[in-house]
Copies of this chain bind each other. A is one copy, B any other.
Amino acid sequence: MPETTPPQPTTQITAQHRELLDQVLDKWSLQVLDRLCESPSRFNELRRAIPVITQKSLTATLRRLERNGMVDRVVVNTRPLAVEYRISALGKTLQDLIDALLGWTTATMPEVERARERFDEHA
């Protein structure tokens, strides 16, 4: 019996998949999600927690994450105006993946370093 269709679970990488990953695994999102997983935070709390981020980038990151349903933006009250950001249920599922990614980088970093040295010294 010939196997015409091999049992690959080959998940097709469409532009949609790429776009979502880009919007959600970018430079700042990991840090922001990590913070929000520990506790809901205010805008300036996040700024202080991630000192190198600029206002602009933080705003952009939060809007993007909010738009994709990863965080909830809650306007707590007015005078002077307080906004709280919370991780959503969807965002928590993402956090599990991020943990897996970070676990992978931690585990493979030594071997990656060796590969880089081999590559660089040979070139």
Contact = CB atoms under 8 A, between A and B. Distances in A.
For chain A, which range describes its interface: under 10, 10 to 19, 20 to 34, or 35 or more residues?
Answer: 35 or more
Interface of A: 8-11, 13, 16-18, 20-22, 25, 27, 30-31, 34, 38, 66-69, 90, 93-94, 97, 99-106, 108-109, 111-112, 114-116, 119-120
Contact of A93 (B21, B34, B90, B104): B104
Contacts of A93: 104, 108
B69 A101 contact: no
Chain A interface mostly: helix
B101 A21 contact: yes
A20 B109 contact: yes
Nearest to A120: B67
